[in-house]
Amino acid sequence: MHQLVEALLVSVLVVNFFVLGTSRLNAVIHASAVEGVLLGATLLCLRRDWEALALASGVIVIKGVVIPALLRGAMREVAIRREVEPFVGFTTSLLLGALATGLALLFAGTLPLAPAQAGTLFVPTALATVLTGFLVLTTRRKAISQAVGYLVLENGVFLMGLTLARALPLVVELGVLLDLLMGVLVIGIIINHINRELSSVEMDTAKLSSLQD
């Protein structure tokens, strides 16, 4: 069981790198869906009660199916396929991602861990995923890429939450999921409006720059 969890965590790290190095939006959205499913599976490996089951199915359905479908819908609507000219190139962002993962490993090494997490990849993976999300969010121009970055960041936070088995009551976890879903919903609507207002196929958040001091 322990090895399975480690394998899942390593897969999460691999998906992170895939998100960093890919320009096709469809693939990036897919990757975020896979990551959502991996999180649900990790949860099931750790806990086998009905609460965990309910939460894991919620996670898999919302992060693995509903949110990606929403994003794909938004993508079709605005008719863009690729992230072009990100603020930081794909190779550079891969390197930065590797650096962030290394830093996450180092930082998690300096924090004292509870016996259950000592020597596992849990905390470093969580931190690396948060940093990856942050990286994607800040270096991509397309609103949809940024939304995926936010999802990855949120996945990292969720992984950290998994270490806390009992601290988080089901209601709160579901509330977090619901907030995330509503957030993506609102983001999707805004993306559509950005598309309509700017009436450009590019739909570039870099064009959102009329508000300045």
Partner 1 sequence: MLLALLMVPLGAALLALALPTDRLRAALLPVGGAVQLGLVLLALRLPETVSLGGWLALDGLGRLILLVVSVLFFFSAIYTPRYLAQHAAHSNRVFVAGMFAFLAMMTLVSEAHHLGLMWVAIEATTLTSAPLIYFEKSPRSLEATWKYLVLCSVGIAIALLGTFFLAYSALQVGLSPSLALSDLLRDAPHLSRPWLHTAFVLLIVGYGTKMGLAPMHAWLPDAHSEAPSPVSALLSGALLNCAFLAILRFFQICGAAHDAGFARHLMILLGLVSIAVAAVFMIRQRDYKRMLAYSSIEHMGILVLGVGIGGAAVFGALLHVINNGLTKGVLFLSAGNIHLAYGTKEARGVTGALRRIPISAALFLIGFLAITGAPPFGPFLSEFTIVRAAFARGRYAVVTAFLVLSFVILVGMGATVLSMVHGSPPGEDSANEIRPVREPASTVWPIVGLASLVLLLGVFVPGPLANLLHHAASLVEVSR
Can you give the binding site for partner 1, defined by CB under 8 A?
Answer: 110-114, 116, 130, 134, 137, 143, 146, 150, 153-154, 156-157, 160-161, 163-169, 171-172, 175-176, 178-179, 182-183, 186-187, 190, 193-194, 197-198, 205, 208-211, 213
Name the DSSP letter for residue 201.
S
Residue 105 CB, shortest distance to partner 1, in Å, is 16
Choose between 7 and 157: whose C-beta lies nearer to partner 1: 157
Is residue 46 classed exposed, middle or buried when 0-12, 13-18 and 19+ CB atoms within 10 A define those classes? middle
Is residue 47 classed exposed, middle or buried when 0-12, 13-18 and 19+ CB atoms within 10 A define those classes? middle
Choose between 76 and 193: whose C-beta lies nearer to partner 1: 193
Choose between 7 and 192: whose C-beta lies nearer to partner 1: 192
Residue 50 CB, shortest distance to partner 1, in Å, is 20
Choose between 91 and 186: whose C-beta lies nearer to partner 1: 186
User: Do 57 and 174 form a contact (C-beta atoms < 8 A)?
Assistant: no
Provide the token pair at 55.
């939460």
Residue 74 CB, shortest distance to partner 1, in Å, is 13
Residue 202 CB, shortest distance to partner 1, in Å, is 15
Task: Count CB-CB contacts under 10 A for residue 66.
Answer: 16
